[in-house]
Amino acid sequence: MRRDTRLAYPYVVWMVIFIAVPLLIVAYFAFTNKAGQFTLENLRQIGEYAPVFLRSLLLAARATVICLVLAFPAAWWLSRLRVRHQRIMLMLVMLPMWMNFLLRTYAWMTLLENNGLLNRLFGAMHLFDLVNGINGLLGASLPTNITYFPMINTAGAVVLGMVYNYLPYMILPLYTIMVKIEPSEIEAAQDLGANTRQILTRVLIPLSMPGISTGITMVFVPSVSTFIISRMLGGGGNMLVGDLIELQFLGNSYNYNLGSAMSLVLMVIVLLCMGVTNTSGGEDGIEGVV
């Protein structure tokens, strides 16, 4: 046993140099001003950006919930397929991940734009004429000259981008846990009188809990700190913490002390959120992929 710990040394060195030390540097900047003196001014200033933090958490939470709702039945269905079919379907789930992240998000831009593919498709289907007509019938206050649906540069587009990009990270951990559930465990619940809803709430969800909490972590964390998705799909009105932090380091407001403080606060918030999901999921002590 003693000797095995040596195998971890390379990673420990890596971790110290590239994770622990940078974290300490971030913390140092967060609590100092440009002159290098200790200050709490940066943290105080973050209060002004509370709406951005709130929006980030809200949109990430929305995306996480949508991912969970979409992924849970999909993962269950996957886990019940024959092994050979499971492999093919899993590959299809992961396929979008092989494509460049930027490219995928650009694709959504061209789809969602005001004169983008979707709106042109709706126009060809005379959908706008139909909506205008109905609005005309319903009352004077409703617009009757719509020529497109506003989709790009909305909060909805940001959530869509998050769901699209991070859905596989919800499906995979759920699937990993669900494959281990024996069909006879579900049959036993049925046998003891559980209907479909009761099977879900009393057996399937509790047994999938480790996968659910891993999936939430893996979707929520990147969603809450993303800046590409909000920049490309959200326009100026849907700035997230990620964008804000980027601005402090690479943007006009160049203030890496404030940027560090924001990163630190975001990290604490994320850790708190994860603490909540992990204690609620792990109370039965089932060993999962977490």
Partner 1 sequence: MEHPIVVSLQDIMVDFDGEPVLTGLSLDIHDKEFVTFLGPSGCGKTTTLRVIGGFVQPKSGRVLFDGQDITNLPPYKRHVNTVFQKYALFPHLNVFENVAFGLRLKSRDEKAIRSQVLQMLETVGLKGFERRRVTTLSGGQQQRVAIARGLVNRPRVLLLDEPLGALDLKLRKEMQLELKRLQQALEITFIYVTHDQEEALTMSDTVVVMNEGHIQQIGSPEDIYNEPTNAFVADFIGESNILNGVMHRDFLVEFAGRSFTCVDKGFAPNQLVQVVVRPEDIQVVPAIQGQLTGVVRDVIFKGVHFEMHVEQGDFEWIIHSTRASQPGEMIGMCIGPDEIHIMPREE
Q: Which residues bind partner 1 (CB under 8 A)?
A: 182, 184-185, 187-195, 198, 202-203, 206-207, 209, 284-286
Q: How far is the CB of 207 from partner 1 (least distance, A)?
A: 6
**Based on CB atoms, which residue is closest to partner 1, 131 or 186?**
186
**Based on CB atoms, which residue is closest to partner 1, 146 or 181?**
181
**Based on CB atoms, which residue is closest to partner 1, 75 or 262?**
75
Q: Cβ contacts of residue 88 below 8 Å, gap of 6+?
A: none
Q: How far is the CB of 199 from partner 1 (least distance, A)?
A: 9
Q: How far is the CB of 189 from partner 1 (least distance, A)?
A: 7
**Based on CB atoms, which residue is closest to partner 1, 152 or 209?**
209
Q: How far is the CB of 286 from partner 1 (least distance, A)?
A: 6
Q: How far is the CB of 190 from partner 1 (least distance, A)?
A: 4
**Based on CB atoms, which residue is closest to partner 1, 6 or 197?**
197
